[in-house]
Amino acid sequence: MKLNGSQLICESLLLEGVESVFGLPGGAILPLYQTLPEYPDLKHILVRHEQGASHAADGFARVSGKPGVAWATSGPGATNLVTGIATAQMDSVPMVLITGQVPRAAIGSDAFQETDTTGITLPVTKHNYLVMDANEIPQIIKEAFHIASTGRPGPVLIDVPKDVQTEETEFDSATFKEEYQNIKINLPGYKPTLEGNIAQIKRAVKLIEDSEKPIILAGHGIIFSDAYQELKELAEKAQIPVITTLLGISSFPQTHVLSAGWPGMHGMAYSSLAIEQSDLLIALGMRFDDRITGKPSTFARKSKKIHVDIDPSEISKNIKVDVPIVGDVKHVLKELNPLINNKTHSKWLQEIESLKIDHPSLQIRNTEKLLPQYVVKSLDEVTKGDAIIVTGVGQHQMWAAQHYTYTEPKTFVTSGGSGAMGYEVPGAMGAQVARPDKTVWSIAGDGGFQMTMAELATLVENKIPVKFAILNNNFLGMVRQWQEFFFNKDYVATQYSKNPNFVKLAEAFGMLGIKVTEKKQVKPAIQKAMDYDGPALIDFIVEEEENVYPMIPAGQSVENLIEEPKPKKALSS
């Protein structure tokens, strides 16, 4: 039987190992939808808004390591995907997106639900395609998965006109599998460098040998290249403390004796100070984001810098480095580690330890009030640090990063570079679909949660048992904090004075809803939500004007670090 465009899409996706697709139908993608019943192995999860589909595909990819797949119709369907695509692009998350497009003959005529999808998504995708011939579909899908998941990963979009989806092709269902496997990827302009330059690696080894105060700065690249063992080996062999970026959290066990927190705007003070005092920074699969460097000219002034990254354009983009190594961090570390001699840095490790004692960033005030930090700490205790944590963006995100203990890779899922509020609901959905065996907790803000909470219906409908902890302070908390610090507490448009009743909302969606207003209710509520068979939500009514500490204000240096005001009473951890 000859296959048509839609069948080619489904067959190709299955051959790429795709099991789940997040999407929402519409006119221009209907032929593809009507083909789905022929492919029961391709599980479709019907979302309530296309942003949910792209964020869910992103969450799926971050947790599974495989490209997430989402699709939508033309026009508004495609534009609704964009926030999720931009989020994936900023954090280098592999994704393949398929959008319906108006029929070929109508392109450019401002037809109903026509939009220039490839034009709109061009700056937020790693690459995109407009398919003008159904026979090209297998080649394009194969290339798309290759581009999305190799080199520096990223989202790839394929725009498929409606009549291309119905067009009969020369491919036959009986022989397609073999034909697909024989397709050669022909991308002469795309050859990611995997192996690091050996001369550069030797220069890096020399710097590491000579260093008294080295620090490893581990980023998202460690997670995507699966280089945990190599990172650990380097750290342990040369006794180098490991600081991670926000997205690098979970690339190195936080319980490890060499783990030295994460730095930057809301990172631990001792981590930022250690970077400041180091004489060598070994940056692995990270990109010197402004949230880490603050003012670039004052960042790690005393240190030499080694930068390993697969993307040459990240080298010396934000921070000038001494030894750049372009390559896959796993490959590079495999070359580098054997050249490193065993070393100790006990004096340096002690210095960091005393920085940690002098600047205790993660202490929680001893009070009867319900503090958001306490909620996160309790989650850590009740789940024994074994859950996958997904967050939105803002204060709750920082507290989730600070007060939970991450020991396993791919357990902290957050929109870092893009900072997309609303990620917490669909992102958690994708994470749970990727790992049905794990408990997924979405630590949410009351602001972001309301942006995407329509997906609760998707969770209930598909029995996806995500648990939500809303740190509800009736404010857009992080913006409020900026207003408090930098705008004389002038709280313009940040208070949500009439937040909905989240418990009733949960019940309306068919979930378990629990409201928590007191400290003593926290742990029992968490346990109850975990024991519940299905998605559940806890509305934690927390201190409204709580701030995230420490803080290095945007564009400033570590000298401007604001630490938590000293409490009057004794501390508890």
Partner 1 sequence: MIQNTLSKHTITALVQDKPGVLNRISSMFRRRGFNISSLAVGQSESENLSRMTFVVDGDDKVVEQVTKHLHKLIDVMKVVDISEENIISRELALIKVKAGADNRDQVMQIASMFRANIIDVSKEFLLVEATGDENKINSLINLLGDIGVSEVMRTGSVAMNRASNRNGKKSKQSKLLNRKWEEAASV
Q: Which two tokens stand for residue 74?
A: 């033309």
What is the 3-state secondary structure of 131-143? CCCHHHHHHHHHH
Is 320 noted as a catalytic residue in this protein? no
The neighbouring-strand residues paired with 364 are 572
The answer to whether 187 contacts partner 1 (rule: CB under 8 A) is: yes
Residue number with CB closer to partner 1 (142 or 467):
142
Least distance from partner 1 to the Cβ atom of residue 113, Å:
21
Q: DSSP E strands: which ranges in 329-460?
A: 364-365, 388-391, 412-413, 440-445
Looking at 17, 37, 40, 189, which residue binds partner 1 (CB under 8 A)? Answer: 189
Shortest distance, position 200 Cβ to partner 1, whole Å: 16
Segment interacting with partner 1, rule: CB under 8 A, options 3-11, 22-30, 119-127, 497-505: 119-127
- C-alpha distances in Å from residue 13, one per residue of 98, 346, 347, 485: 11, 52, 54, 50
Stretch that binds partner 1, among 160-168, 181-189, 450-458, 518-526 (CB under 8 A): 181-189
Min separation Cβ 5 and partner 1, Å: 19
Could you say whether residue 108 binds partner 1 (CB under 8 A)?
no
Q: Which of 11, 16, 50, 455 is catalytic?
A: 50
The one catalytic residue among 19, 43, 113, 530:
113
Among 32, 72, 130, 306, binds partner 1 (CB under 8 A): 130
Return the residues of window 237-256 that contact partner 1 according to CB under 8 A. none
Least spacing, CB of residue 67 vs partner 1, in Å: 16
CB of 54 to partner 1, least distance (A): 20
Strand pairing of 571-572 and 364-365? Answer: antiparallel
Q: Is 123 a residue that touches partner 1 (CB under 8 A)?
A: yes
Question: Any contact of residue 119 with partner 1 (CB under 8 A)?
Answer: yes
Q: Does 127 bind partner 1 (CB under 8 A)?
A: yes
Of 124 and 260, which has the nearer Cβ to partner 1? 124
- By beta-carbon proximity to partner 1, the closer residue of 48 and 152 is 152
Q: Does the annotation count 478 as an active-site position? A: yes
185 lies in the site for partner 1, by CB under 8 A: no
Residues 315-354 that bind partner 1 (CB under 8 A): 315-317
**Residue 184 binds partner 1 (CB under 8 A):** no
Tokens of 288: 């010197």
User: Quick check: 190 binds partner 1 (CB under 8 A)?
Assistant: yes
- State the nearest-atom distance from the C-beta of 330 to partner 1, in Å: 21
Residues near 134 by Cβ (< 8 Å), separated by ≥ 6?
4, 5, 8, 164, 165, 167, 168, 169
In angstroms, what is the minimal distance from the CB of 304 to partner 1? 19
- The answer to whether 289 contacts partner 1 (rule: CB under 8 A) is no
Return d(Cα 318, Cα 565) in angstroms, integer.
32
Of 2, 112, 343, 489, which is the active-site residue? Answer: 112
Residue corresponding to tokens 């408090």: 484
Assess 195 for contact with partner 1 (CB under 8 A): no
Among 126, 266, 330, 515, binds partner 1 (CB under 8 A): 126
Nearest 5 degrees, angle CA 318-CA 67-CA 317?
A: 10
- Mapped onto helix, strand or coil, the DSSP state of residue 518 is coil
- Looking at 34, 313, 354, 363, which residue binds partner 1 (CB under 8 A)? 313
Under the binding rule (CB under 8 A), the answer on residue 297 touching partner 1 is no
Are 285 and 259 in contact, with CB atoms under 8 Å apart? Answer: no
Q: Which of 126, 142, 162, 515 is catalytic?
A: 162
3-state secondary structure 485-531: HHCCCCCCCCECCCCCCHHHHHHHHCCEEEEECCHHHHHHHHHHHHH
Q: What is the CA radius of gyration of the chain?
A: 24
Closest CA to 274 of 255, 253, 256, 258: 258
- CB 312, min distance to partner 1, A: 5
| 513 and 503 Cβ atoms separated by less than 8 Å | yes
Q: How far apart are CA 225 and CA 150, in angstroms?
A: 9
Residue 194, interface with partner 1 (CB under 8 A)? no
- b/e code 166-204 from CB counts within 10 Å (16+ = b): bbebebeeeebeeebeeeeeeeeeeeebbebbeebbebb
Tell me the window of 311-319, 404-412, 456-464, 529-537 that interacts with partner 1 (CB under 8 A). Answer: 311-319
Q: Which amino acid is at 529?
A: A
- 277 is a site residue for partner 1 (CB under 8 A): no
Give min distance, CB of 119 to partner 1, in A.
7
The helix/strand/coil state of 216 is: strand
Q: Whose CA is closest to 542, among 330, 372, 390?
A: 372
Contact flag: residue 433 with partner 1 (CB under 8 A) = no
Q: Is there a catalytic annotation at residue 113?
A: yes
Q: Do you know the residue count of the chain?
A: 573
Q: Reduced to 3 states, what is the DSSP secondary structure of residue 534?
A: coil
CA geometry: angle at 14 spanning 467 and 173, to 5°? 155
Place of tokens 């934000």: 318
Neighbours of 389 (CB within 10 A): 28
- Contact segment (CB under 8 A) with partner 1 among 45-53, 185-193, 238-246, 301-309 equals 185-193
Binding of partner 1 at residue 279 (CB under 8 A)?
no
The contact set with partner 1 (CB under 8 A) reads 118-119, 122-123, 126-127, 130, 147, 187-190, 311-313, 315-317
Which positions are annotated as active-site residues? 50, 112-113, 162, 478
